[in-house]
Structure 1
């Protein structure tokens, strides 16, 4: 196995002030068929929180927790951080790593599931950044996805169980649970295991919390594409409305299983929009916590690092799907994004 001399945390990035919102969104949406009015709508979501996305600060907290974990238990490796869409950007980070003499790094992506936007695109971003930096850029290998790792599932079970405990015992058997994840285009979902992995993670968490099979389902949120392009459904708010209209919704727990921290899609789409809808419909809603910097989750990251360095045969994974691959096949999560027509 190759020697590694650094860890690279790879994430999405987010604005940290009102003046950064539009440049950030222009980075995110460059070349994508998203109407400008939708971009302005999303910009308003950020301005609702002072123009600051919590994702960067949450990544700082994750890095600090992982530094403590590695200092106590090894391996003794420095941690770097690079984003796709906002500072610190990947080319800047890889250039610094090169100056520091890093030759080979292991990358942890802040996404538990396989998809183009959650995995392959990050690998493409790293490749582009390495080309930009040149010969001094380190090689980067990614850690496997962790959607069914005990270190991800166990904190999510704990989070859901904490919400269930707040429901009166006489009503617990009738509470509805909606697991949510970021919607993606159907054309993207067709060539990855995103839906399969999400369904398995939901099943594992629901079973761990003792839910009946008819108490929970997977829904989606935060779609941003053209209204003419089909995306994964149902939308979380649409599903809340249909359940309430059917007279079967009184207590609701939303579990944002597709996210590892409480960033903008969680704070606005769930804690703001979905909560306001539930208040209008007289539905008692709770939102389960994401894994964040839960000690078991941080320990999982270390376990993934050690597993890869040691070439360990034992690769923890719950359920029947087994551990995901370390090295992605050439056609893994392939996607040809639809681009707006040029001309005129």
Structure 2
């Protein structure tokens, strides 16, 4: 299978960062099978992916690192600089004294000297300890936005993270970071797709120079007990896909790209990975864009449901401080 043409790149607002490929491969999969993840990342490299998204929580850092090493050994990429690696700081590590050690541990897992992008996974702080998922509600603690971000900036200063950013942050959370930041966040990774378009947040981030990346670009999350898939089962997207000779997934990903957002797709199928890259040589029409803008909006990932078990009570955190509903 011949590799697809290289994806466009996005310049990030960070002095040390290389441009970020405009589409990435996500590696969160439960249950995790390390060999399967490694092989899927290697297959993604073969078809043309150069941006890989992992996190300490996912347990996939070692698999991503092994795939990169093998890709270099096989000559699929000429150098480390050809791949863009994102990892994330989990909630139990969101304490100023744990930020740098946590990144060093991620780098050891990845067998890398630096990550291209390091994100605060959620605006949630939990008691230090192993990354249990779901977490206990009584383990929630007040989030030290200034202290944690100061240490993220130290990771950047040391060259261990070429760019730093956040994930699942609302405009209110970003206000707190920007008030304390010397190095502003380069990226905010959030749930975003045609059925959850995040217009308010996108406008805010554009104004502040923060690039948005999209997880669940095809509406695949099931954390809140929802039925069906509002993206892949959308009549609007189905109609557009048929008229354009594209798949529904390609229409959704193209729409995200045309909004100036970078999708993070999660497929371990080599053929689907290849199809996910085939979105850059065509455009949606104005009529397509109007129809997509009218799709009913519904958020899938609810912070409290997705992170915490149903047992226990919040003792030290106001639920509103961690909820990530934006619109």
TM-score (ref. length: structure 2): 0.28
Higher helix content, 1 or 2: 1
Q: Return the structure number with greater relative CO, CA threshold 8 A, min gap 6.
A: 1
TM-score (ref. length: structure 1): 0.27
* Rg comparison, structure with higher value: 1
